[in-house]
Structure 1
Amino acid sequence: MGLLLSVRPGRGCTVLEVRGELDMATSPQLREGLQRLVDAGDRQVVVDLAGVGFMDSSGLGALVLMFKALREVGGRLCLAAVQPAVRTVLTVTSVDRVIPVYDGVRAAEAGAPATNHVAGD
């Protein structure tokens, strides 16, 4: 099964909803979806992982890569609604100490800066 990505505006951010398994076959799709947001000028991105029950190291790598890409342009990436199996991967690898993880999208939106500022605005 493939990965389903959907984008919606959040409060002061862009929310990327992810559904499916994040593995070697689907992680490029996640990375490309996040890169499209960065290229479009989005700087505050919340990745909603409520629909992801499994993530391997390639999914983890895609998230870390895009976290760094957003940070380099003055942006922010955070994770929301992380399922227990995925949270375990984040904790064991200490990625949860680098990428902010919130219980839900609302909490992540509240933790984001008030505006989705694009450089040059």
Structure 2
Amino acid sequence: MEYTESKSNGIVVLKLFGNLDMLNAGILKERIKESASQSEHRFIFDLEGVSFIDSSGFGLIMSLNDKLTELGGGLRIVNVSKTIRQIFRISKISSVIQIFESTEEAIQSFLP
């Protein structure tokens, strides 16, 4: 998996490409750990370039959200395909993590 990174209003936006699965989840986990040590606790995952997420990917998303929330931040998800959105709904991830249509909407959700 690859990603590009940008920041807006202190929020880290990671645009992901490829599969979020057992083989690649560690890359993302390490990136978040690095940011958390630098007091970056608000993240947006742009999943437009993600075509597949397995249970390891879902578990990673849930655990990262929990950790970031504990640190006073959180995780938002944007640009989810219909297939992945349906899986999020079935697995109830969408009831725990906010999903937005655009990065701008997700950024606004973090701001007071």
Instruction: Give a deviation string over 1:31-83, Cα, whole Å, max 9, x none.
Output: 22222222221122111111101111110011111101101111111111111
Q: Which runs of 5+ in 2 are unaligned?
A: none
Q: CA RMSD in A?
A: 1.3
TM-superposed CA distance for 1:99, in Å, is 0.5
Name the amino acid aligned to 2:19.
E
CA contact (8 A) 2:10 2:40 kept: no
Higher strand share: 2
SS in 1 for 2:3: strand
TM-score under structure 1 length normalisation = 0.85
CA contact (8 A) 1:16 1:45 kept: yes
Counterpart residue number, 1:61: 59
Counterpart residue number, 2:36: 38
Identical aligned residues as a percent: 26
Find the partner of 2:108 among 103, 107, 110.
110
TM-superposed CA distance for 1:12, in Å, is 4.6
CA contact (8 A) 2:48 2:78 kept: yes
Tell me which stretches of 4 or more aligned residues in structure 1 moved more than 6 Å.
none
Q: Report the Cα distance in structure 1 between the residues aligned to 2:83 and 2:34, rounded to whole angstroms.
A: 27
Higher relative contact order (CA 8 A, sep 6+): 1
Q: Which runs of 5+ in 1 are unaligned?
A: 115-121
Equivalent residues in 2 for 1:92-103 (5 A)? Answer: 92-103=90-101
SS in 2 for 1:52: strand
TM-superposed CA distance for 1:11, in Å, is 3.8
CA contact (8 A) 2:19 2:50 kept: yes
Find the partner of 1:73 among 71, 74, 84.
71
Number of matched residues?
112
Name the amino acid aligned to 1:46.
I
